[in-house]
């Protein structure tokens, strides 16, 4: 295959949208609708080139399909990017122009928040399309997904503890938390409530001061936190934190956090296994936010109890993935991919292309 099709790499559909009046330029990528509508957030980012934007949206939409499949959701995977600087270019008209592109896909793609977009922005997008989730609760959405993402990560961390120490309790464990934003701070609070000892790092001194004062956490710098002599290292800030340098310094038995793309390269997943460190695949444990926004699509709308129950099942999914890794001698990250691919193939075959309701 040649030209643009060569880039698609298994994606079902890529849509370019533009509105010269507002300057809106977007790309929506649908990796798969085999399991249901392709849900994934809208990233508003000042890409240096159109090609960078395309590469990013293709990568992100594929990752969403794997995450949804692994979470047991009836959702495919999609993602959108708006090319521009959100601080300078964002306007009501631009967001609404974007909403019309989303609406034109009649529900094959459903959007949500991502880097550069907020629940308030999604409420604006939703004025032009039925296919937008993640708005504030007062606007009919499910609000900040960080709370459920933190809860799912906590549930996943407990499942890892059970695997390694025979008990899910984190009460007498030492956890090193990197990143104290919407997810990391909530996670730290839950761990503290259980009685865990905390060491934390964030580039924002206010966030670390809050954790030191309220949760009794020790504070270290962001480039040292992975090397702390703790039971668990929990990355909740950046991607790519598990690289050759970090691997040589890790002292923990478990890596479990919400940050996306924690492994710098796939081979680092194998290296963690060799080092005897249990890695909770990022997209398995950080699916709580996706489970939350997906619930807005349920008949009758979002229900917190259902979201909590489904988020708690992250523990079961993780155990299945970890067992698969053991039986098929894979890294836990590769096992998660295989688990997702099997579900997409087996269940997706029943559905083929998802058709929006008429």
From residue 10, how far is each of 58, 77, 163, 244, 289 by CA, in Å?
A: 10, 12, 35, 30, 26
Give every CB contact of residue 48 below 8 A, 6+ residues apart in sequence: none
Given 204, 244, 249, 265, the residue binding ligand NAI (CB under 6 A)? 204
Nearest-angstrom CA–CA distance, 339 and 321: 7
Q: Is 180 in the site for ligand NAI (CB under 6 A)?
A: yes
76 touches 65 (CB < 8 A): yes
Given 86, 143, 168, 222, the residue binding ligand NAI (CB under 6 A)? 222
Q: How far is the CB of 87 from ligand NAI (least distance, A)?
A: 15
What would the x/- binding string for ligand NAI be over residues 325 to 344, using CB under 6 A?
A: --------------------
Q: Is 168 in the site for ligand NAI (CB under 6 A)?
A: no
* Binding segment toward ligand NAI, per CB under 6 A, in 7-15, 234-242, 268-276, 335-343: 234-242
Give the closest residue to 33 by CA, choosing from 74, 70, 81.
74
Q: How far is the CB of 137 from ligand NAI (least distance, A)?
A: 15
Given 33, 111, 129, 236, the residue binding ligand NAI (CB under 6 A)? 236
Q: Kindly tell me the sign of the dihedral angle through the C-alpha atoms of 264, 270, 273, 274.
A: negative
Q: How far is the CB of 304 from ligand NAI (least distance, A)?
A: 15
| Catalytic residue status for 79 | yes
Tokens standing for residue 34: 């085999």
Q: Is 234 in the site for ligand NAI (CB under 6 A)?
A: no
Q: What is the 8-class DSSP label of residue 242?
A: B
* Binding segment toward ligand NAI, per CB under 6 A, in 180-188, 296-304, 332-340, 343-351: 180-188
The residue (of 45 and 354) whose beta carbon lies closer to ligand NAI is: 45
96 touches 124 (CB < 8 A): yes
* Binding segment toward ligand NAI, per CB under 6 A, in 4-12, 126-134, 230-238, 297-305: 230-238
Given 238, 247, 324, 347, the residue binding ligand NAI (CB under 6 A)? 238
Q: Which residues is 19 bridged to in the sheet? A: 24
Residue with tokens 């994606």: 11
Length of the chain: 358
130 touches 105 (CB < 8 A): no
Q: Is 76 in the site for ligand NAI (CB under 6 A)?
A: no
The residue (of 107 and 289) whose beta carbon lies closer to ligand NAI is: 289
φ, ψ (nearest 5 deg) of residue 82: -105, 125
Nearest-angstrom CA–CA distance, 130 and 100: 10
Q: Which residues is 28 bridged to in the sheet? A: 15, 80
Could you tell me the strand order of the sheet in which 109-113 lies? 13-19, 24-32, 76-83, 38-45, 109-113
Catalytic residue among 67, 79, 90, 197: 79
Q: Are strands 218-219 and 197-201 parallel, antiparallel or unpaired?
A: parallel
Q: Is 246 in the site for ligand NAI (CB under 6 A)?
A: no
Q: Is 42 in the site for ligand NAI (CB under 6 A)?
A: no
Q: How far is the CB of 122 from ligand NAI (least distance, A)?
A: 13
Q: What angle do the packed helices 304-312 and 288-295 form, to 10 degrees? A: 150
Q: How far is the CB of 202 from ligand NAI (least distance, A)?
A: 4
E strands of 69-140, at which residues? 76-83, 109-113
Q: Is 181 in the site for ligand NAI (CB under 6 A)?
A: yes
What would the x/- binding string for ligand NAI be over residues 120 to 159, using CB under 6 A?
A: -------------------------xx--x----------
Q: Is 259 in the site for ligand NAI (CB under 6 A)?
A: yes
Q: Which residue is nearest to ligand NAI (CB)?
A: 181
Active-site positions read 79
Q: Report the interface residues with ligand NAI, using CB under 6 A.
A: 145-146, 149, 178-184, 201-204, 207, 222, 236-238, 258-260, 286, 289
């Amino acid at each position: 295959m040649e030209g643009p099709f060569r880039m698609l790499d298994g994606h079902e559909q890529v849509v370019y949208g533009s509105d010269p009046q507002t300057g809106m330029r977007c790309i929506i990528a649908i990796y798969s609708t085999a399991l249901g509508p392709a849900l994934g957030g809208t990233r508003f980012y000042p890409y240096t080139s159109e090609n960078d934007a395309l590469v990013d949206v293709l990568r992100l939409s594929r990752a969403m399909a794997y995450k949804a499949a692994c979470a047991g959701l009836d959702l495919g995977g999609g993602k959108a990017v708006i090319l521009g600087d959100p601080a300078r270019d964002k306007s009501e008209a631009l967001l609404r122009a974007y909403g019309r592109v989303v609406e034109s896909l009649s529900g094959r793609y459903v959007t949500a928040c991502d880097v550069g977009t907020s629940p308030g922005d999604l409420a604006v997008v939703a004025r032009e399309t039925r296919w937008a989730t993640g708005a504030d609760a007062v606007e009919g959405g499910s609000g900040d997904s960080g709370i459920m993402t933190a809860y799912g990560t906590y549930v996943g961390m407990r499942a890892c503890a059970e695997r390694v120490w025979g008990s899910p309790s984190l009460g007498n464990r030492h956890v090193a938390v990197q990143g104290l934003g919407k997810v990391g701070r909530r996670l730290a609070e839950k761990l503290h409530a259980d009685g865990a000892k905390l060491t934390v790092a964030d580039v924002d001194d206010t966030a670390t001061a809050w954790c030191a004062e309220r949760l009794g956490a020790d504070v270290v710098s962001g480039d040292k936190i992975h090397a702390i002599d703790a039971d668990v290292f929990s990355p909740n800030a950046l991607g790519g934190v598990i690289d050759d340098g970090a691997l040589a310094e890790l002292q923990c038995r478990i890596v479990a956090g919400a940050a996306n793309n924690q492994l710098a390269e796939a081979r680092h997943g194998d290296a963690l296994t060799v080092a005897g460190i249990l890695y909770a695949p990022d997209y398995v444990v950080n699916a709580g936010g996706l489970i939350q926004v997906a619930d807005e699509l349920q008949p009758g709308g979002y229900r917190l109890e259902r979201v909590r129950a489904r988020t708690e099942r992250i523990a079961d999914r993780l155990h299945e993935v970890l067992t698969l890794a053991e039986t098929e001698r894979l890294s836990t990250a590769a096992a998660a991919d295989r688990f997702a691919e099997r579900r997409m193939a087996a269940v997706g075959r029943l559905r083929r292309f998802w058709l929006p309701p008429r």
